[in-house]
Amino acid sequence: MAETPSTMLPLGTTAPHFNLPDPNGKFVSLDDFKNGFALLVVFICNHCPYVQHIRAQFASLAKGYQSHGVGVVAINSNDVESYAEDGPEFMAEEIKQVGYTFPYLLDQNQQVAKAYRAACTPDFYLFDNETGGGLSSSGDR
């Protein structure tokens, strides 16, 4: 199994916009998270062994942080023709099976992953909304 390091955005970067469908076709955008004080964007997919290893703990962690006002969204940017198990019907099953309480969205053309410079799964991005300048990566305090 090949190791692919994360490339990450520079600290202070504003969160790139997204407007993506969930497995049921409902669109969710960055604007849906503007009322939270932070946003965790995570690139995942169903078939990744690293995601499979952490998914239950991640679901629990996300639920806890959501209860404290942190927005959480997961994005699947895999090519569903090459990885059929990452298609919308399987994403819907993953949501139910694991108990995700956050949107799990499909980035079929990988444009959002490219904007975030996501290189692997799981890849985590934390943005701060308390600065008043929109969601931007935290760590400069």
pLDDT at 141: 30
On whether residue 48 sits in a domain, the answer given is yes
On whether residue 136 sits in a domain, the answer given is no
- Output the domain CATH number for residue 83: 3.40.30.10
Which range marks the domain in which residue 76 is found?
Answer: 44-122
Total domain count for the chain? Answer: 1
Per-residue pLDDT tens digits for 54-85: 999 999 999 999 999 999 999 999 989 999 99
On whether residue 128 sits in a domain, the answer given is no
pLDDT at 3: 67
Per-residue pLDDT tens digits for 22-57: 999 999 999 999 999 899 999 999 999 999 999 999
On whether residue 15 sits in a domain, the answer given is no
Question: What backbone phi and psi angles, to 5 degrees, belong to 104?
Answer: -120, 110
| pTM for the whole structure | 0.88
What's the CA gap between 52 and 49, in Å, rounded?
5
